Amino acid sequence: MDLLNTLVDKGLRRELPTREEALAVLATSDDDLLEVVAAAGKVRRQWFGRRVKLNYLVNLKSGLCPEDCSYCSQRLGSKAEILKYTWLKPDEASKAAAAGVAGGAKRVCLVASGRGPTDRDVDRVSQTIEAIKEQNEGVEVCACLGLLSAGQADRLRSAGADAYNHNLNTSEGTYGDITTTHTYADRVETVQQAQAAGLSACSGLIAGMGESDADLVDVVFSLRELDPDSVPVNFLIPFEGTPLAKEWNLTPQRCLRILAMVRFVCPDVEVRLAGGREVHLRSMQPLALHLVNSIFLGDYLTSEGQAGQADLDMIADAGFEVEGAGTTTLPRHRTDAAAEAETGGGCGSHAGGCAPCGDVTDEPGDAEAGTPGARTDLVAVRRRGAGTDLAPNA
């Protein structure tokens, strides 16, 4: 297929596809799916080999968020029966993180619900970062605390944070349809603050919320321009008790096409398969490893993932390997550019110049799991790990 040959050539050169090419990937048929996966897999292997980076989420503060993000089980007005608790103590968070590290996680993602941290919250998270780093040598720590105020990114970096996550989630044109309590521009600004402080930026999207193909391409192109080091791709988990509970729009094939498009647009970036993979990809998860180079291990913020050992078995059975702590995730040209930026040499992350953690739909009549109502067979609320007395899934 001429389209795929063109996209592979561009991906190997880190050249941006056209919007028409990205849209064409989403429009390919199921008959062409394996060719699409194989083509995007060539780009993935060029920059990341057969390595899979494992990440582990620790929900520092669950529920009771004042923001109204329609997709979120922790949102204002959510009736989802999730765990609700206030801040974990640093030693509790460190213990939870250690379980993920023992399971093979290279990065620990510390997440807290809310609009953004107060200065006291930053102090609390800083103590948690220090505790985790002290007990887990070499582990990366990413913070995801919402919108940042001036100076907070610098303080997190001084405490030892390596990265900051804040997702764009959807296109600028449709952002107001899913959230009214903050703006798309607020999110962009927070990612830029993290980058300016020298933190590795992590920013991605949520697919399956009712957006068009054009919206999905728009947000991925915006991410390419924003130039985060890692792009998590979430697939909406339609929690009962949230406004998007009936949005069952994704098929496994559709998810794979979305991941392939992201890989073609962001060829040398850590593309992470995040929330919703078990719900929407199900038995086709191993195919996604040919497109992404990073996944979350075990459970998510408020929902359960598949067993941690099943994740490890899946990676091994598919012929991939878990990325070790001594291996640098990003290709050398990106890490060199980051080092140069740190010493005042400019950004340089893009070829040729400078540039939040753990949800495009078909027409409603084509929804793969379009039966309205709770899907308790697919969505299980987390009842173990952080905030409980039960052992975590790692």
pTM of the complete model: 0.88
Residue 102 has pLDDT above 60, yes or no: yes
Kindly report the average pLDDT of the chain as a whole number.
89
What are the phi and psi torsion angles at 169 (to 5°)?
75, -55
- Please report which helix (H) or strand (E) contains residue 388, including its range: none
- Residues 387, 301: contact at Cβ < 8 Å? no
> Each residue of 350-373: pLDDT tens digit?
433 333 344 333 333 333 333 345
| The one-letter amino acid at 40 | A
Burial class (CB in 10 A: 0-12, 13-18, 19+), 199: buried
Amino acid 229: pLDDT: 98
Closest-CA residue to 19 (of 278, 190, 212, 289): 212
**Contacts for 84 with CB less than 8 Å, ≥ 6 apart:** 62, 63, 64
- Residues 393, 308: contact at Cβ < 8 Å? yes
Per-residue pLDDT, averaged over 154-161, amounts to 98
- Residues 52, 289: contact at Cβ < 8 Å? yes
Per-residue pLDDT, averaged over 295-317, amounts to 91
Amino acid 278: pLDDT: 94
Closest-CA residue to 204 (of 186, 194, 212, 216): 216
How far is the C-alpha of 61 from the C-alpha of 145, rounded, in Å?
10
How far is the C-alpha of 104 from the C-alpha of 51, rounded, in Å?
13
Tokens found for residue 165: 């996550």
> Which range, of 106-120, 150-164, 201-215, 376-390, averages the lowest pLDDT?
376-390
Count of beta carbons in the 10 Å neighbourhood of residue 182: 17
Q: Is the dihedral of CA 9, 11, 17, 23 positive or negative?
A: positive
Per-residue pLDDT, averaged over 196-224, amounts to 97
Count of beta carbons in the 10 Å neighbourhood of residue 321: 12
Residue 346 has pLDDT above 50, yes or no: no
Number of H helices, E strands in the chain: 14, 10
Residue 51 has pLDDT above 80, yes or no: yes
Closest-CA residue to 260 (of 21, 9, 45, 25): 25
Amino acid 354: pLDDT: 35
Domains of the chain: 2-366 (3.20.20.70)
Amino acid 375: pLDDT: 61
At 118, is the pLDDT very low, low, confident or very high (cuts 50, 70, 90)?
Answer: very high
Active-site amino acid positions? 65, 69, 72, 109, 142, 202, 272
- Residues 217, 23: contact at Cβ < 8 Å? yes
- Residues 99, 129: contact at Cβ < 8 Å? no
Amino acid 342: pLDDT: 63
How far is the C-alpha of 237 from the C-alpha of 177, rounded, in Å?
17
Share of the chain above pLDDT 70, in %: 91
| CB-facing half-sphere around the CA of 79: CA atoms within 13 A | 7
Q: Is the dihedral of CA 349, 352, 356, 360 positive or negative?
A: negative
How far is the C-alpha of 42 from the C-alpha of 48, rounded, in Å?
10
